[in-house]
């Protein structure tokens, strides 16, 4: 492998990894506050992409307002999902609520397919399509947007969680919901905020990804799975860990294609995420069970 | 807990109602006018993938059948009998397709058109054959009709998959290209294509070899193929042959442009959609694919036996579904239904006679796929010479242009 090829694989890996990271962040935030694994997380990426396409091409909005509106709309769907499907079933066990999220995912996917479009759609690139040369590798400018926005979003999220009152309340609720409600933090409001944040993150992932690759109403399934693996690598702990989980998964996937380990050809690219997931579950199952008992 | 159960039940009911509503409007789409006249309607079955992975191909087929049925019935039906096409959505699922085929047979259809994919066609081939119902598949797999063998009730209308591959290989040979790389979809269409693309006899015939590390694949829902392409760019490949349908090839075209790869990209007829050009943008320019003549109908000479028919189909379809929407997949359904309608017109609603008619009387019969010549040995009917069976299309300035070689 030449050094140019190495850089190429690395950049491709970081690009897909950044999208997985944005999805993984959403998983982590909702899990931290509610202990729910939200399997509809990938659908918000799909919504971000499809909505931005609809707003640009059918409503004729300029790029930036269309993107912002799409992210807000995705966040609104996330809020609606919490208020209509999760909160009413508040006394259900966490496992039941996770199943509710799967139902919500199927619902969102179905509505998007019927109401938005069944076709694969792509939105215009943010800044042209002329690729940029970097250390012998060629990079799509949109890839830089994706990586840059992921980094900025992660930093903002970090600052929000650690330096604002609402952010601190979210963290408190994640650490100990009973104690935090004793000091006046409403866990249901915090859960709503977590869902809004997570779906907005998904929406951001969608609007930045749609110019790079065509998305369809079914795109959320695989992206959700990859994001889940990203969050799992990070141990569903800190958001930063989920980001590293996403990047790691993206890079491993791309180098797996490069390496040709024995029978592992490019056919197995998608299987990598599942293998990584299985390994994590095997290695971490003891620890997760411990956390469960402690919690 | 009780409270939760209540909500769960309500949620379940809402979902169930929505699901039923969806089924009500999407799975049973009956075409045609209400049969108020005295003559019995002629019942024809249709199975297409109007959802699931094959939806991009199935949707134009569904739309074509609806359009054609309406047109025929508005013009007074077939010999005064209204045409009643009972159409079901297979959801791209072979098991579901088999169930629906049995259902159609029970409903007494005189012929079945579709399904969309080779996998689904293979699943219902024995069912239709055993029930003695003519089946005219709209899938390209050569396994469906080659050889005919005992399956004398089974036909198909698209250009066969290996003919399409030979068409691309002919071009490569003419361009003195000997080393190629493959990039195929891991799902049905790409997988079937990969088997023929990598067929050593076929490769040898055209003097081609697949370079080491040059046999790459991608998943249908992958968002980025730069890794595979980077791998190929490190080989001696002089061209890439890609087999798959939307959106994979569009991503590949874009990724190739990003990576600065200049070797030609050749694709299957699975990209003969306007949406390929929309998705790939400027990167679509230069891509070559094989197809029927529909994409370049405006460039055909007036002497072409298919021209009038293709123009008619394109005009009718686009009047109904929008400019640029007509494609070769809808054409496969158009040909299949027209064959059945022709048979019904000539011999009436007798399954055996319809079969015989299609086998023996579809001769020098222009369709959208080509000029058909069915025979007891050939249940596809299109020329086996790749250059006669298919044309090459090159995308230039975002437009399909006829690449005459």
Q: Which of residues 207-246 of A touch B (CB under 8 A)?
A: 209, 212-216, 218-219, 221-223
Q: What is the CATH number of the domain that holds A136?
A: 1.10.3470
Fold of B162-291+388-403: Rossmann fold (3.40.50)
Q: Which of residues 118-157 of B touch A (CB under 8 A)?
A: none
Report whether pLDDT(B12) > 60: no
Contact A5 B279 (CB under 8 A): no
What is the reported pLDDT for B6?
55
Q: Which of residues 377-396 of B touch A (CB under 8 A)?
A: none
Contact B221 A221 (CB under 8 A): yes
Contact A266 B56 (CB under 8 A): no
Q: CA-based diameter of chain A, in Å? A: 60
- Measured at the CA of A192, the angle between CA A187 and CA A196, to 5 degrees, comes to 145
DSSP state, A85?
I
- Measured at the CA of B203, the angle between CA B201 and CA B208, to 5 degrees, comes to 145
Distance between start and end Cα atoms, chain A: 48
Please give the structure tokens belonging to residue A229. 């693996």
pLDDT category of residue B35 using cuts at 50, 70 and 90 = very low
pLDDT category of residue B24 using cuts at 50, 70 and 90 = very low
Q: What is the pTM of this model?
A: 0.79
Q: Which of residues 63-122 of A touch B (CB under 8 A)?
A: 85, 88-92, 96, 100, 103, 107, 110, 113-114, 118-122
What is the reported pLDDT for B22?
41
Neighbour-count burial of A127, counting CB atoms closer than 10 A to its CB (0-12 exposed, 13-18 middle, 19+ buried): exposed
Question: What residues does each domain of chain B span?
Answer: 31-158+324-374, 162-291+388-403
Q: Helix, strand, or coil here: B36?
A: coil
Put simply, whether A12 touches B (Cβ < 8 Å) is: yes
A289 Cβ partners below 8 Å, 6+ apart?
A: none
pLDDT category of residue B113 using cuts at 50, 70 and 90 = very high
Put simply, whether A56 touches B (Cβ < 8 Å) is: no
Location of structure tokens 């909505």? A51
> Which of A110-119, A197-206, A276-285 is predicted with the least confidence, judged by mean pLDDT?
A276-285
What is the reported pLDDT for B289?
95
Pick B31-158+324-374's CATH classification: 3.90.1150.170, 1.20.1440.230, 3.40.50.2300, 3.30.200.20: 3.40.50.2300
Considering CB atoms only, which of A110, A122, A266 is closest to B217? A266
Domains contained in chain A, number: 1
Please give the structure tokens belonging to residue B233. 């760019």
Residue of B nearest to A129 (CA): B258
User: Are the C-beta atoms of residues B243 and B194 closer than 8 Å to each other?
Assistant: yes
Give mean pLDDT, residues B212-220.
Answer: 86
Residue B108: Cβ within 10 Å count: 12
The backbone region for B235, taken as left when phi is positive above 0, alpha when psi lies in -120 to 50, beta otherwise, is beta
pLDDT digits (tens, 9 = 90+) for A167-204: 999 989 888 888 988 988 988 899 999 999 999 999 99
What are the φ and ψ backbone dihedral angles of B136, each rounded to 5 degrees? -115, 100
Q: Is ipTM strictly over 0.90? A: no
Report whether pLDDT(A89) > 80: yes
For residues B15 and A108, what is the distance between their CA atoms, to the nearest angstrom? 12
Considering CB atoms only, which of A13, A89, A209 is closest to B223? A209
For residue B222, which residues of chain A lie inside 8 Å, CB to CB? 269-270
Q: How far is B293 from chain A (nearest CA, A)?
A: 24
Put simply, whether B324 touches A (Cβ < 8 Å) is: no
Q: Which of residues 29-68 of B touch A (CB under 8 A)?
A: 51, 55-56, 59
For residue A131, which residues of chain B lie inside 8 Å, CB to CB? 257-260
Put simply, whether B223 touches A (Cβ < 8 Å) is: yes
Report whether pLDDT(B274) > 60: yes
pLDDT digits (tens, 9 = 90+) for B379-395: 999 998 999 999 999 99
B73-77 LR contacts (CB < 8 Å, sep 24+) = B73/B31, B73/B32, B73/B33, B74/B33, B77/B37, B77/B39, B77/B41, B77/B42
B399 Cβ partners below 8 Å, 6+ apart?
A: none
CB pairs A-B closer than 8 Å: 132
Q: Which of B14, B224, B256, B282 to mutate to test the interface with A (most CBs of A within 10 A)?
A: B224
Location of structure tokens 């042209």? A128
Residue of A nearest to B218 (CA): A267
For residues A134 and B82, what is the distance between their CA atoms, to the nearest angstrom? 66
Considering CB atoms only, which of B56, B216, B219 is closest to A270? B219
The answer to whether B31-158+324-374 and B162-291+388-403 have equal CATH topology is yes
Instruction: Please name which of A280, A195, A270 lies closest in space to residue A225, comparing C-alpha atoms.
Output: A270
Contact B246 A120 (CB under 8 A): yes
Distance between start and end Cα atoms, chain B: 73
Contact A5 B234 (CB under 8 A): yes
User: Are the C-beta atoms of residues B165 and B145 closer than 8 Å to each other?
Assistant: no
Give mean pLDDT, residues B36-64.
Answer: 86
For residues B380 and B378, what is the distance between their CA atoms, to the nearest angstrom? 6
For residue B230, which residues of chain A lie inside 8 Å, CB to CB? 5, 8-9, 12, 258
Q: Which of A2, A10, A12 to mutate to test the interface with B (most CBs of B within 10 A)?
A: A12
Report whether pLDDT(A295) > 80: no
Contact B228 A219 (CB under 8 A): no
> Whole-number mean pLDDT of chain B?
88
**Pairing assessment for the beta strands B365-366 and B371-372 based on DSSP bridges:** antiparallel
Residue B152: Cβ within 10 Å count: 15
What is the reported pLDDT for A119?
78
Alpha-helix residue ranges (DSSP H) falling in chain A:
3-34, 41-57, 63-81, 94-115, 141-163, 165-175, 177-182, 187-209, 220-233, 239-259, 269-294
For residue B221, which residues of chain A lie inside 8 Å, CB to CB? 218-219, 221-222, 270
Residue of A nearest to B245 (CA): A120
pLDDT digits (tens, 9 = 90+) for A212-249: 888 888 889 889 999 999 998 888 878 888 999 999 99
Put simply, whether A292 touches B (Cβ < 8 Å) is: no
Q: How far is A274 from chain B (nearest CA, A)?
A: 14
Neighbour-count burial of A80, counting CB atoms closer than 10 A to its CB (0-12 exposed, 13-18 middle, 19+ buried): middle
For residues A51 and A41, what is the distance between their CA atoms, to the nearest angstrom? 16
Give mean pLDDT, residues B69-74.
Answer: 95
Report whether pLDDT(B313) > 70: yes
Q: Helix, strand, or coil here: B157?
A: coil
Q: How far is B343 from chain A (nearest CA, A)?
A: 35
Instruction: Please name which of B39, B94, B69 lies closest in space to residue B336, comparing C-alpha atoms.
Output: B69
Domain that holds residue A165: 3-294
Report whether pLDDT(A251) > 50: yes
For residues A71 and A77, what is the distance between their CA atoms, to the nearest angstrom? 10
Give mean pLDDT, residues B127-139.
Answer: 96
pLDDT category of residue B256 using cuts at 50, 70 and 90 = very high
Contact A90 B260 (CB under 8 A): no
Residue A295: Cβ within 10 Å count: 7
Instruction: Please name which of B53, B52, B123, B47 lies closest in space to residue B86, comparing C-alpha atoms.
Output: B47
């Amino acid at each position: 492998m030449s050094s140019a090829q190495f850089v190429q694989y690395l950049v491709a890996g970081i690009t897909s990894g950044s999208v997985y990271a944005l999805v993984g962040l959403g998983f982590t935030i909702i899990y931290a506050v509610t202990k729910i694994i939200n399997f509809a997380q990938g659908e918000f990426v799909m919504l971000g992409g499809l909505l931005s396409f609809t707003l640009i091409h059918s409503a004729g909005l300029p790029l930036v307002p269309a993107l912002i509106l799409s992210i807000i709309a995705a966040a609104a769907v996330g809020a609606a999902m919490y208020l209509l499907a999760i909160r009413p079933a508040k006394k259900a066990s966490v496992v039941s609520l996770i199943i509710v999220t799967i139902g919500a995912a199927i619902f969102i996917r179905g509505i998007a397919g019927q109401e938005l479009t069944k076709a694969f759609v792509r939105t215009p690139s943010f800044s042209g399509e002329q690729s940029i040369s970097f250390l012998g590798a060629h990079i799509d400018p949109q890839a830089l947007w994706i990586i840059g926005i992921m980094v900025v979003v992660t930093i903002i999220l970090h600052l929000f969680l650690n330096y604002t009152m609402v952010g601190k309340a979210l963290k408190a609720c994640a650490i100990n919901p009973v104690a935090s409600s004793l000091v006046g933090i409403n866990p249901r409001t915090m859960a709503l905020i977590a869902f809004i944040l997570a779906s907005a993150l998904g929406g951001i992932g969608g609007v930045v990804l749609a110019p790079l690759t065509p998305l369809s109403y079914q795109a959320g399934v695989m992206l959700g799975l990859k994001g889940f693996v990203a969050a799992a690598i990070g141990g569903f702990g800190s958001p930063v860990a989920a980001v590293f989980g996403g990047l790691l998964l993206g890079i491993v996937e791309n180098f797996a294609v490069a390496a040709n380990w024995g029978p592992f050809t490019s056919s197995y690219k998608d299987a990598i995420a599942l293998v990584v997931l299985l390994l994590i579950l095997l290695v971490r199952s003891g620890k997760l069970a411990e956390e469960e008992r402690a919690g | 807990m009780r409270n939760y159960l209540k909500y769960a039940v309500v949620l379940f009911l809402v979902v169930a109602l929505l699901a039923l509503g969806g089924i009500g409007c999407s799975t049973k789409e009956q075409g045609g006018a209400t049969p108020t006249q005295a003559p019995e309607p002629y019942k024809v079955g249709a199975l297409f993938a109007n959802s699931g992975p094959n939806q991009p191909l199935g949707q134009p087929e569904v739309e074509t059948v609806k359009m054609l049925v309406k047109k025929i019935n508005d013009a007074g039906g077939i010999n005064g009998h209204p045409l009643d096409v009972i159409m079901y959505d297979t959801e791209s699922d072979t098991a579901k397709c088999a169930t629906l085929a049995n259902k159609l047979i029970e409903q007494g259809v005189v012929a079945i058109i579709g399904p969309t994919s080779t996998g689904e066609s293979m699943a219902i081939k024995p069912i239709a054959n055993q029930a003695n119902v003519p089946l005219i598949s709209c899938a390209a797999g050569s396994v469906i009709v080659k050889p005919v063998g005992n399956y004398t009730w089974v036909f198909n209308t698209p250009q066969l998959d290996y003919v399409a591959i030979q068409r691309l290989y002919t071009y490569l040979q003419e361009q003195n290209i000997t080393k190629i790389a493959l990039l195929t979809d891991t799902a049905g269409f790409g997988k079937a294509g990969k088997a023929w693309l990598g067929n050593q006899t076929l490769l040898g015939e055209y003097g081609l070899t697949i370079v080491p590390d040059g046999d790459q694949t991608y998943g249908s829902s992958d968002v980025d193929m730069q890794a595979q392409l980077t791998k190929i760019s490190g080989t001696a490949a002089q061209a890439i042959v890609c087999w798959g349908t939307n959106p994979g090839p569009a991503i590949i075209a874009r990724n190739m442009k990003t990576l600065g790869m200049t070797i030609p990209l050749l694709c299957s007829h699975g990209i003969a959609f306007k949406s390929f050009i929309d998705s790939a943008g400027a990167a679509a320019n230069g891509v070559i694919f094989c197809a029927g003549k529909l994409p370049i109908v405006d460039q055909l000479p007036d002497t072409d036996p298919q021209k009038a028919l293709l123009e008619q189909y394109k005009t009718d379809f686009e009047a109904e579904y929008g400019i640029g929407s007509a494609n070769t997949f809808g054409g496969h359904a158009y040909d299949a239904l027209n064959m059945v309608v022709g048979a019904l017109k000539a011999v009436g609603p007798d399954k055996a006679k319809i079969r015989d008619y299609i086998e023996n009387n579809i001769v020098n019969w222009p369709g959208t796929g080509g000029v058909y010549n069915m025979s007891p040995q050939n249940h596809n009917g299109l020329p086996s010479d790749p250059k006669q069976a298919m044309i090459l299309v090159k995308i230039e300035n975002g437009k399909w242009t006829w690449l005459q070689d």
